[in-house]
Amino acid sequence: MAGSSNANGGVRYTLIYQDATSLPSDNVGGGAFNLSNPVPAGLIEAVGLRISGTAGAQPSAASTAEIISGVRFTLNGDQVINLQTQANSVASATCSRLGAMVQDVGGMVVEETQSATAIDMTVWIPLGINAPVNSRFELALNYITALATITGNFEVWIKYGKSTNLTLYGYQTSQTIADNAQTMVSVKIPTVKGATVAGVMVQGASAADNLISIIPKVLGDFAMSPTYLRGISGASMNGYQFADPGANAAAQLFNDAIPGYYFVPLYNVAVSDGSVVFLMTSANAAVPGSEFYTFTPVLNLPTSGSGERTPVQTSRVATGSKGAILSRAEDQ
């Protein structure tokens, strides 16, 4: 008998991809991998990227997530996650930019702290999208060169469950900002019916606070400094959590700032003309002249549904030893 689809309303973790090759290595130039596989139907609460195994030395000076420089996740041809980072460095002793990005939107990086060479890290990225039947994902993954090659497994997990909203991570806008000159930046916002803009992730090309101020015109004329941005985004109060086994094998560490990275809250503004305008002022102290910035919009959209749709048998027969014994005897 054919089975029917049933929505499992609870939380369920489902492995949708695994291999032993899509891992960070010490090869010059890092690595780039393109993966794809079917996805079970249901409400995808979050996407998890897990790296586990061993390395001959600590792959990065702090968090292994520092090695990941790009994550692009496409579902049924629609890009829903596009997180690209700048200024990655395996010498960094702070939280990674990817780690800060996912924590700013309610995600997390779960990472082993007790060993520098036994690697177990999962990056959870909130999504909240309903995957229909016969869905398929594509993942483009980029790494910088690690300090040591990791041998083990790379896995893609889906956490099915409930979500109050769909979170979309749009295409980056990029622009070079001249030193000490207020510059207008028009950040392109994807056209998605009913979507609002939760905020914009802003990154400089260097791991330094060269930003002087940013004015989101949709909110008025208030000039927001790096310190102010970290206050209203919650970074300076809650901190960015990360692992650094070499510095502390007993506990996670925290940063209240990631130099060169800023989350600009826009309080779910509704955009009608396809863009939001920033007025930015920056001064590059290390290389005077200008700095290259990128802008990643984060969109919210109402969603509904819950759990993974799992097959259910529609033909049921009551069984038991009493009936089985009598039936067996009578059949003789």
Mean pLDDT score, 123-131: 96
Please state which of the ranges 28-37, 243-252, 265-274, 314-323 shows the lowest mean pLDDT.
314-323
Contact of 180 with 62, CB cutoff 8 Å = no
pLDDT in tens, 139-155: 999 999 999 999 999 99
pTM score, whole prediction: 0.90
Nearest to 295 by CA among 176, 208, 174: 174
How are beta strands 4-8 and 308-312 bridged, if at all? antiparallel
* Continuous segment of H or E residues that includes residue 104: helix 97-104
Per the prediction, the chain carries an average pLDDT of 91
CA distance 71 to 99: 12
Whether residue 34 has pLDDT greater than 70 = yes
Per-residue pLDDT at 323: 55
Q: What residues contact residue 82 under an 8 Å CB cut-off, 6+ apart?
A: 71, 72, 73, 169, 170, 171, 172, 296
Residues pairing with 35 in the sheet? 139
Query: pLDDT above 90 covers what percent of the chain?
Result: 83
**4: alpha, beta or left? (left if phi > 0; alpha if psi -120 to 50):** beta
Residues pairing with 326 in the sheet? none
Residues pairing with 332 in the sheet? none
pLDDT in tens, 202-244: 999 999 999 999 999 999 999 999 999 999 999 998 789 999 9
Say how many Å lie between the first and final Cα of the chain, rounded.
Answer: 28
